[in-house]
Amino acid sequence: MKKLFASLLTLSLLLSLAACGSSGSPTGPDAPKPSQPETPELTFAVGTPLTHESTYTADDGTLLLHTNYALPQLELRTADGALYEPGAAATQSAAVAVRDAFNAEMERCYAAVLSNESGLAQEARDHYGNDSVSFEYIYYEDELLGEVVYQSDGLISVLANAYAFYGGAHPNTSTLTWSFDLTTGEFLTLDALNAQSSTDSALGKTLVDTLASEIVNRIYEEGLDDYLYDDFYSYVYDLSSNAHFYFSGSGMTVNFDAYVLGPYASGPQTFEIPYGIFYNALDAHTQSLLDVPQDEIVIADYNTTQTLWSWFYQTTPPIDANAPAVMANGQSFNRVSLGEINTLDALRALLCEHVSEELADEWLSGSRLTELNDALYVLCADRGYDITIDGASYLVAWNGDSGELIQTITRREWNDTAGNFVPVPGTETYSYPFTTVNGHAVFSAFPCPY
């Protein structure tokens, strides 16, 4: 039997302004200027998809192969909802170029799967000729069905589910995804979406690291690691090579096909990551493309601020493992690795983007951080996480441009009889008052229970 996914392999390999002439009119500064057609206000809309469905049968009528392909196309609409199609002499607008770039990519993928169809049909005929008794139960199928799963004014995400059965023990499925910038006409990659500096990132972690850390934590928390490869985490942290992603109204969905993190029996692995986890690790341009609820941005700001808080009360800022430690007052200090933040003043400025000046000074007053040799150093002194905290939920209450994030936590305790932790009745609530500055929350109190 030939390798599965022949058509998808072909597809993956393929994924890897009009000039103005002289009119013979008088020239010079007083010559009349040729009129240019005005481009109306345009919006992007999902148009009629590219679709193809076929069946192939043997001479005796037995079904040999069924194919079904569909991929979306974009169209432009005017303010009154009419379809916009510029004439040959019209000035090509930027919106038209963006539309054409998206459609061209979908058309290339569509052509790739179509080009493989005749070969699959011949393979099915050959198979049937060798196994005509049982073939009625195992006819070939090849599908790639794509649809737009998220659209904002600036971005569109497409999810395509592929299904392939070419004989054998079981079918196989996979996914293809595209996220497309409607302002630039470019397809987005995870590596290109990183915030540009540590002051507007998830504080020392790239977008890929932020997503991967969340996924690995979930896998362990849900006990999924028992069903995956022993080194599954290495594939998770190589997210850009091993996963597909798309945006939604609530966050990002990251999908690993079967065989990537575990054997076929483990199936594909899909993780829905809310914006509150990774929003601040996105670059500012990508943030501007998304319709993210303001509550989710506040939760993202809380998560970022909790990371800052942890540097002073729980763990240690990122350090440069390749820089030698230095001794000061009989203690060993490690060099902090936070990009351009190399002084206490720069660190304070970073803190003040997330907390009030009073809170920043309070955190710095008893800190283990110091300036040595024109760099920022820290005395490492980590402590553990409070394992009695079982879960947390968040609610944002607004009062104009200010408000409070209300955190509700549940606890658990060890039970010798059960040999495990069991929930403790009741909840605890904590309030984090904030004001918004440039669309982000700046907290004036941070009673973190961890």
Stronger pLDDT, 112 or 132, i.e. the higher one: 112
Full DSSP string of 318-354: -B-TTSPPEEETTEEEEEB--TT--SHHHHHHHHHTT
Q: How would residue 12 be classed by pLDDT, with cut points 50, 70 and 90?
A: very low
- Band the pLDDT of 311: cuts 50, 70, 90: very high
Reported as a single tens digit per residue, the pLDDT across 291-308 is 999 999 999 999 999 999
The rounded mean pLDDT for the chain is 87
The domain locations on the chain are 40-188, 190-292, 316-378, 389-443
In the sheet that holds 269-274, the strands lie side by side as 244-247, 251-256, 269-274
Using CA atoms, how far apart are residues 158 and 255, in angstroms rounded to an integer? 13
| Of residues 30 and 227, more confidently modeled | 227
Compute CA distances 103 → 94, 152, 169, whole Å: 14, 17, 36
| In the chain, % of residues over pLDDT 90 | 71
pLDDT at residue 110, rounded to an integer: 97
Per-residue pLDDT of 332-377, as tens digits, reads 999 998 888 889 999 999 999 999 999 999 999 977 899 988 899 9
Please, are residues 292 and 280 in contact by the beta-carbon 8 Å criterion? Answer: no
Residue 30 has a pLDDT of 53
CA distance 440 to 353: 9
Compute how many other C-beta atoms are within 10 angstroms of the C-beta atom of residue 39.
17
- Global pTM? 0.83
Q: Is the pLDDT of residue 22 over 50?
A: no
**Structure confidence at residue 136 as a pLDDT band (50, 70, 90):** low
**Which CATH code of 1.10.3720.10, 3.10.450.50, 3.90.640.20, 3.30.230.70 fits the domain covering 190-292?**
3.90.640.20
Contact 326, 372 (CB under 8 A): yes
Q: Which two tokens stand for residue 173?
A: 């499925």
Beta carbons within 8 Å of 383's beta carbon, 6+ residues apart: 314, 315
How many angstroms separate the CA atoms of 150 and 322, rounded? 43
Lowest mean pLDDT segment, chosen from 5-9, 83-87, 421-425: 5-9
Residue 429, pLDDT score: 98
With a cut of 90, say whether residue 184 has pLDDT above it.
yes
For domain 40-188, which architecture applies?
2-Layer Sandwich (3.30)
**Measured in Å, how far apart are the chain's first and last C-alpha atoms?**
56
The CA distance from 208 to 221, in Å, is: 20
CB atoms within 10 A of CB 192: 14
Among candidate residues 331, 315, 332, the one with its CA nearest the CA of residue 323? 332
